Structure 1
Amino acid sequence: METGFTKWIIVITVVMCCLLELIDTSIVNVALTQMMGNLSATQQEVTWVVASYGIANVIVIPMTGFLAEQFGRRNYYLFSVILFTLASMACGQSTNIWELVAFRFIQGIGGGALMATSQAILIDTFPPRQLPLGQALFGMGVIIGPTIGPTLGGYIVDNYDWPWIFYVNVPVGILAAIFTIMFIRDPERIKNAVRRPFGQIDWAGAFLLVLGVGSLQLVLEQGESEDWFESFYIVSFTVLAVVGLVGFIVRELTAKDPIVDLRVLTRSRNLSIGAFLSFVLGFGLFASVFVFPIFCQRILGFTAAQTGFILLPSALLSGMMMPIVGKMIQGGVPQKVLLPIGFGIFFVFSYWMSTQLSPTAGEDDFFWPLMLRGFGLALLFLPITTMSLSGLSGKDAGQAAGLTGMIRQLGGSFGVALVGTYLERSIATNRVALLPNISLYDPETQQRLQAFTGAFMGKGSSLLQAQQQAYAALEGTLMKQVSIITYGQIFLLIGSFFLICVPLVLLIRTARPGEKVDLNAAH
């Protein structure tokens, strides 16, 4: 265990890297339009800038336990920091879209390792009595990172040029690499780990993991833009995902030295439940962060930076709540108590948000619902993490940490994909449902058209032009109302998904007296 100045330098280093990795999952979203213009890319091509990073992330995260033991955790972490930094510089220097996509994939390989390994380094840095603080600091990065990405990206794009969303990583990465060399050390268990000969590594498992998880992430990232299973391309990668995942599961359950030991799921009921709850947490975290900015920017006309600043206070509240929740768990408050409260709060947040959506809504209307969201997430993240790892030790804890991290990322990808699809398709359905309420024979509709026509004629339009503009304005009013109904339905669906998970909490095994979570083994 490190103490004093060294401990806090390590904390600053790894939290900084964790934040960088998660910020980069969402920071590019606000710069895609500018990239299209500068790199002469189509809408379809530029989506790969986001997809390639997510695919690389979700492939690397479950393998970090094996890679850290094989090469040494400090060496692997240092390599990942340098790879992420160099790839960030290369992204900013890209001269065409496919260069950028390739460097984003490499950046994602380094970033996935930073995310998974930072947790282990933080935990090893704190003595057992301060483990909740270490977990809380990691949780701050997980919750805050995706939230401030659009804010930071919006500010950079508004004031500079898109390459700077990558260049800002470089000085932080250089500093993190220097601090890693100077201060981070491997624990004894990693130093004494037996390295597998090159020929004995589970290459088949690694290949099936890349094929299955990579194809699944690609389908989730690209499915909406390709019209899902109407596309041969999506159908083909869905088949590859199924083949790869089934093969990966069979291989890892039967191999002598699997690269990802799935048998740990059969040895721990809490881990199996925790893996599913991690999926739900990722779904809610990323889906709500995805849909709210779209509503603010499309319907209310907010900028990306404005939207980010609205989300920021709730993310900061989650961060501040983490140490408090950690102390509660340390003091003996069961996860069985905290988790239902967290799920219930998230449902209330979702319902509250669905009632606040209107064409005239302002920042103040969303402040308290979003603060409630931040409070609920704080009551979910730490209890799910500690419950998942309870009763595990050594390599099992490390494998469990990697699996839950991967599943949380996949949950986020499913959330964004499903919400995006529901949004596009339900807007059309809801428009058809509302059309019978608008009729040229309806006095209210006629009055509205006359008011629009008079207003446009007052601005200098001819009668014919004013009538055409009035019909367009009526259509715009209809579509705005349709959109508000659809966004409200989405929030209710997200909240309902959380609510139906509450009964699963009853299956959690209560820790035996004196049983502790071996988080020191997690990487």
Structure 2
Amino acid sequence: MAANNNKFVKVIIVITTITAAIMELIDTSIVNVALNNISGTLGATLEDASWVVTAYAIANVIIIPLTGFLSRYFGRKNYYLASIILFTLSSYMCGSSSSLWMLVFWRFVQGIGGGALLSVSQGILFDQFKPEEKGIAGGIFGMGIVIGPTIGPILGGYIVDNYHWALIFDINIPIGIAAALLTWKFIDKKPDEYNINKKTIPIDYMGILSLAIGVGALQYVLEKGQSDDWFQAASIRYLTIAAVLGMGFFIWWELHTKNPAINLRVMKNRNLIGSNVLTFVCGFGLFGSVYLFPVMVQRVMGYTPTEAGLSMVPGALVTIFAMPFIGAGLGKGIKPIYFVILGFILFILHGYTSSLATQDANNWWFSMPQIFRGVGTGCLTVPLLSQAVVGLKPQDMPYGISLNNMFRQLGGAFGIAIMNTYATNRYATHRSDLVSNLQANNPMLTERLNGISQAMAAKGVNPITAKQTAYGVLDHSLSNQAQMQAYLDGFLLIAIFFVCTIPFMLLLKNETMDAETRAKVAAAAH
């Protein structure tokens, strides 16, 4: 009976931690498809409404590298439970917001609570598995990391098309309450949490403050740079300076202070440097492609938000099936580098095949690139986390893991910002090229304009208006072609980015962790 109870508790904890992590990751992307509705309902511009996304991202990227310190200071269970409650409460307040800036404030608070739902869930989950099962645990958790950003647009699109946007936040409430109750009842404190003496744990105020300023300013520049015309805007110039000074001082301070909030000295390990760079690339590819695809099919191909989300289902489904096998392979001793190489190959194929799409492509055509992306991300996420801590001392592993998580989030921020800017610039280039190829004496152009004009005239439209309409139709068609080519260039850029960073694999140690080391990784994971 006791064994059955232990199995029951284990299942409950696995479900709780995975659900909490997925819930946090869903909220990073679920709002994207609802910005039009939010801006219309709250009487704000679309540009101002984008702060709903920016505020959450800024809070998230600040708190994630600090979760290791906060877990030690407050105790892992206490911090985790408080974060779930904060996330749930702020979700309710987001759904109840009556103004845009009220919503933005509570999204920032939600991002603070959400940081632990990703990071601390990992350590709690790993504690439930034996050393030889850590690979499976990593596969289960990695599945949540990959699925979350993919499910977000699907779920958000369905809600926006059928219900009020507030439901995007309200659906977190019952899940959050259940997760809080299950955490309080079934998740035990670690032995060292019962005798925490906060007086013996110094707080690195300067490190935390400089990190918040540097990373927060950097995230703002990445999120708002394109809409604010980059360095043409004073706010972008000043915050770029703040990001450089803040991050520069943070790095200097953490390397020289006696008790750093984040021990950057672990970055002397070349294996950790290589793993973090490749994790950054993984975040770049995952979030960049998840941003590009739904925007492309909605703006160019006329998909509804729901249809755009459903188009991403193949990638999510194949990830669900692939991740446990990847985790089991790691558990049996397959070297992580093999999965990393396969992941890079699949992501390069994803970017290249996606760049070959046409405006006539249907969901079936896009299925294969989505599958490449899903399996590729799975092959990179957990193996890179496992690879990151190879060669680190047990006491340094929490810092290595927190830095690895932060690099994935920053990679995602860079991916979205670069894809947005690159697509905008390429659109202008392609439109200019298409316009320059339109010659007034081109018989095909003349024939098409006359055909549209005659069709309009047949419906009773006067000749002058019919001709204007024909030019309007041609302009719309030209813009669609330019936009399509711009987004396809974005996918190709992702493939090129992966190709250019392949040399960083040479920094990785081609080693397999033994069961004892995997156990230490699990214990150290936030």
TM range (shorter): over 0.9
3-state DSSP of counterpart to 1:17:
helix
Gaps of 5+ in 1: none
Shift of 1:188: 2.9
Match of 1:506 in 2: 506
Task: Tell me, yes or no, if the aligned pair for 2:431 and 2:479 is still in contact at 8 Å.
Answer: yes
**Partners in 2 of 1:445 and 1:380 — Cα distance?**
49
Q: Output the CA distance in 2 between the equivalents of 1:371 and 1:512.
A: 27
- Which residue number corresponds to residue 485 of structure 2? 485
Equivalent residue, structure 2, for 1:18: 21
Partners of 1:391 and 1:511 within 8 A in 2: no
Bigger Cα displacement from structure 2, 368-377 vs 287-296: 368-377
Say whether 1:206 aligns with 2:221.
no
**Residues in 2 aligned to 1:38 and 1:285: alpha-carbon distance in whole angstroms:** 31
Q: Distance in 1 between matches of 2:196 and 2:92?
A: 34
Q: 1:97 corresponds to which residue?
A: 100
Give 1:430's aligned residue. Answer: 430
Task: Kindly indicate whether the alpha-carbon contact (under 8 Å) linking 2:139 and 2:328 is maintained by their aligned counterparts in 1.
Answer: no
Partner SS state of residue 516, structure 1: helix
State the match for 1:459 in structure 2: 459
Give me the TM-score of the superposition, normalised by structure 2: 0.96
Are the aligned partners of 1:21 and 1:114 in contact in 2 as well (CA < 8 Å)? Answer: yes
SS at match of 1:207: helix
Whole-Å separation in 2 of the counterparts to 1:395 and 1:186: 19
> How far off is 1:193 after superposition?
6.2
SS at match of 1:366: helix
Deviations, residues 111-135 of structure 1 (Å, cap 9, x unaligned):
0111111111111111111111211
Residue 217 of structure 1: aligned partner: 219
Any conservation in 1 of the 2:390–2:509 contact (CA below 8 Å)? no
What corresponds to 1:39 in structure 2?
A: 42
Q: CA deviation at 1:329?
A: 2.2
| Partner of residue 236, structure 1 | 238
CA contact (8 A) 2:126 2:134 kept: yes
C-alpha displacement at 1:191, in angstroms? 4.8
Q: Which moved more, 1:358-367 or 1:334-343?
A: 334-343
CA contact (8 A) 1:314 1:374 kept: yes
Q: Is the alpha carbon distance of 1:67 and 1:395 closer, same or farther for their aligned partners in structure 2, counting shifts above 3 Å? A: farther
Contact 2:68 2:402 in 1 (8 A): yes
CA distance in 2, matches of 1:142, 1:254: 34
> Would you say how many aligned residue pairs link Structure 1 and Structure 2?
520
What residue number does 2:183 align with? 180
**What's the counterpart of residue 325 of structure 2?**
324
Partner Cα separation in structure 2 for residue 510 and residue 354 of structure 1: 33
Q: CA RMSD for the aligned pairs?
A: 1.7
Whether contact under 8 Å (2:334, 2:512) holds in the other structure is no
1:469 alignment partner AA: T
Cα distance in structure 1, aligned partners of 2:513 and 2:153: 45
CA distance in 1, matches of 2:150, 2:288: 11
Distance (whole Å) between structure 1 residues aligned to residue 175 and residue 267 of structure 2: 37
C-alpha contact 2:390 2:513 (8 A) present in aligned 1: no
Q: CA deviation at 1:331?
A: 2.6
CA deviation after TM superposition for structure 1 residue 513, in Å: 7.8
What is the percent sequence identity of the aligned residues? 43
**What residue identity is the alignment partner of 1:443?**
P
> What CA deviation, in whole Å up to 9, does each residue of 1:174-220 have, x standing for no partner?
0000000001113335556664457x311010100111001101111
Determine the C-alpha separation between the residues in 1 that align with 2:390 and 2:513.
Answer: 12
- Do residues 276 (structure 1) and 277 (structure 2) align? yes
- C-alpha distance in structure 2 between counterparts of 1:496 and 1:297, whole Å: 25
Aligned AA (2:462): S
- Looking at structure 2, the residues matched to 98 and 109 of structure 1 have their Cα atoms a distance apart, in angstroms, of 17
Residue 137 of structure 2 is aligned to residue 129 of structure 1: no
Contact 1:83–1:107 under 8 Å retained in 2? yes
* Aligned partners of 1:61 and 1:113 also within 8 Å: yes
Counterpart Cα distance in 2 of 1:338 and 1:138: 16
Counterpart residue type for residue 36 of structure 2: T
Which residue in 1 is equivalent to 2:371? 371
Structure 1 position 338, deviation (Å): 2.2
Give the CA deviation at 1:110.
0.2
Give the secondary-structure state (helix, strand or coil) at the position aligned to 1:125: coil
1:200-249 CA-partner distances (Å, limit 9, x unpaired): 31101010011100110111111111101000011011111111000000
> What CA deviation, in whole Å up to 9, does each residue of 1:383-425 have, x standing for no partner?
2111002233433111111111111111101110011011112
Matched, 1:151 2:142: no
Rounded to whole Å, the distance in 2 between the matches of 1:393 and 1:160 is: 51
Q: Which residue of 1 aligns with 2:63?
A: 60
**Deviation of 1:44 (Å):** 2.4
Equivalent in the alignment of 1:343:
344
> Deviation string for 1:310-358 (max 9, x for gaps)?
11221221122112112222333222322222111111111111112x2
Q: Does 1:51 align with 2:54?
A: yes
Any gaps of 5 or more consecutive residues in structure 2?
Answer: none
- Give the whole-Å Cα distance in 1 for the aligned partners of 2:502 and 2:385: 16
- Matched-pair contact (CA < 8 Å) for 1:34–1:162: yes
Letter paired with 2:174: P
**SS of equivalent to 1:186:** coil
**Aligned residue in 2 for 1:494:** 494
Name the SS of the counterpart of 1:3 in structure 2: helix
Q: Deviations over 1:409-465 (max 9, x none)?
A: 111011100110111121111111222221111111111111111222223211111
Contact 2:80 2:116 in 1 (8 A): yes
Which has the higher mean CA deviation after the structures are superposed, 487-496 or 170-179? 487-496
The separation in 2 between residues aligned to 1:374 and 1:334, in whole angstroms, is 20
The question of 1:169 aligning with 2:172 is answered yes
2:244 partner amino acid: V
Change beyond 3 A, Cα 1:513–1:469 = closer
Alignment of 1:2-17 (within 5 A): 3-17=6-20
